[in-house]
Structure 1
Amino acid sequence: MTPLYPPAKDLQSIASLFPHVDLDVIASVVRHELPAIEVYKLDSRRILESTWNIVEVSMDDSTVSLCAAPLAIETYPSLDSLLVPLNAYFSILSVDGLSNGQSALLPCHFFRYSSHLVKIAAQYEWHAVLSYHFAFFARRLKEMRKGDFAGWGRVEMDLMEECLVPHQKKRPYGTVFPDSSTYQSWELIYP
């Protein structure tokens, strides 16, 4: 029986924790090469979905044609469609990082970013949240290749201003509660 902790330092032991994920995908995660648009490959709910096939084969007329890759908003139509595979991504990075000497605080950076996504998704239009996430993710890939994971715990104000602020959800300025005269205003949400 293989011990669950500490995990071994090879891809096979990590893969045993994620049996629904191809070994090549796990390798690209730990090498910090998996682009944000492909994180869906870690979602066990979507492994068999045909929307990820970009080659269409017609048995009737024996033709093969390339289909357009799905747009980001089609791949990630909702917060949970992003968070579920992103949490698997963070789990793989945590197992690999902790077994290779990263700080025990490593998962805290990932938790903070997940929380940040939930907060901004409540306040900004979804397409803007995706744009922010993809840009944020690209910056983190560069840092992680150098061994720095702390960026996941930071808020990128320049990206928020560029990607999010122009796309704040339209909401009433405040809410009046029926049983009181309390008036509550909306505020910017930061972690």
Structure 2
Amino acid sequence: MQSLHTMFPTILPATISKIVEHEFKPIDLARLNPRRRWDQFASGCSLDDYPSLHSLLVPVSVYFAVLQAGVDATSGDAETTRVIGHGGLQYMAHLIELEELFEWPAVVQYHMQFHNKRRHDMVFDDYSPWMVADRELINKLLVGPGRQRVWRGPDGKLLERDSDGSVKSCQRKILSRSI
């Protein structure tokens, strides 16, 4: 594990161990964001720590880098290491796609539940589910009752519907909290 601490000097050794041992909770991903490494998170992280796709993707990518390096260092299994890297890239692409289609708070909820399910799989050395969308969670959290799909115009700007059902342009809401 010492070499992992050298590879990731800004991440606490206890955090690296939690990632490699599949005990790291997805709600705490903000702790891995290099731009927020000096934040204290004294009371823990919350969903408010993920106001944008960027605020989630950056720590997810760090998480996969640590996970891949950790599994490689502990097992030396090239195929498992490859699956983790490939799965991480596919999962991040999946998050980008979901962000384009659905309300961001619902996508964050999807990630938290999806990641928790993967923690269970990884305990049994199964990393392949990172490569497969969870249709049950998508139906429950993203397209279920009360959820609205995000509509984008050809220019990529968000669209919203007027009370009469017609579509109008709108500016994307940017949360005031910066990361």
Q: Which runs of 5+ in 1 are unaligned?
A: 1-10, 55-68, 177-191
Query: Structure 2: where are the runs of 5+ without partners?
Result: 156-179
Q: Is the 8 A contact 1:123 1:168 kept in 2?
A: no
Q: Which residue of 1 aligns with 2:125?
A: 147
Give TM-score, length-normalised by structure 2. Answer: 0.77
The amino acid of 2:59's aligned partner reads P
* Partner residue in 2 for 1:21: 11
Please tell me whether the aligned partners of residues 98 and 106 of structure 1 are also in contact (alpha carbons under 8 angstroms): no
In structure 1, the partner of 2:46 is: 71
- Quick one: distance in 2 between partners of 1:145 and 1:139? 10
Residue 105 of structure 1 aligns to a residue in which SS?
helix
- 2:83 is aligned with 1:98: no
* Counterpart contact for 2:32–2:62, Cα < 8 Å: yes
Change (3 A) 1:170 1:82: closer
Q: Does the 8 Å CA contact 1:36/1:138 hold for their aligned counterparts?
A: yes
CA displacement, residues 91-127 of structure 1 (integer Å, 9 cap, x when unaligned):
0111122331151333111110000000001111111
* CA-atom RMSD in angstroms: 1.8
Partner of 1:169: 149
- Aligned partner of residue 19 in structure 1, secondary structure: coil
2-structure distance, mates of 1:119, 1:157 = 14
Scaled by the length of structure 1, the TM-score of the pair is 0.72
Shift of the alpha carbon at 1:175? 5.3
CA distance in 2, matches of 1:43, 1:175: 32
Q: What amino acid maps onto 1:145 in structure 2?
A: V
Q: Which residue of 86, 89, 96 corresponds with 2:63? A: 89
Q: Partners in 2 of 1:122 and 1:175 — Cα distance?
A: 13
Q: CA 1:138–1:152 in 2, change beyond 3 Å: closer, same or farther?
A: same
Aligned AA for 2:67?
A: L
Aligned length: 149
1:189 matched to which residue of 2? none
**Residue among 119, 131, 136 paired with 2:109:** 131
Question: Which of these two proteins has the greater Rg computed from alpha carbons?
Answer: 1
After superposing on structure 2, the runs of 4+ consecutive aligned residues of structure 1 that deviate more than 3 Å are none
- Which residue among 6, 26, 35 is the counterpart of 2:25? 35
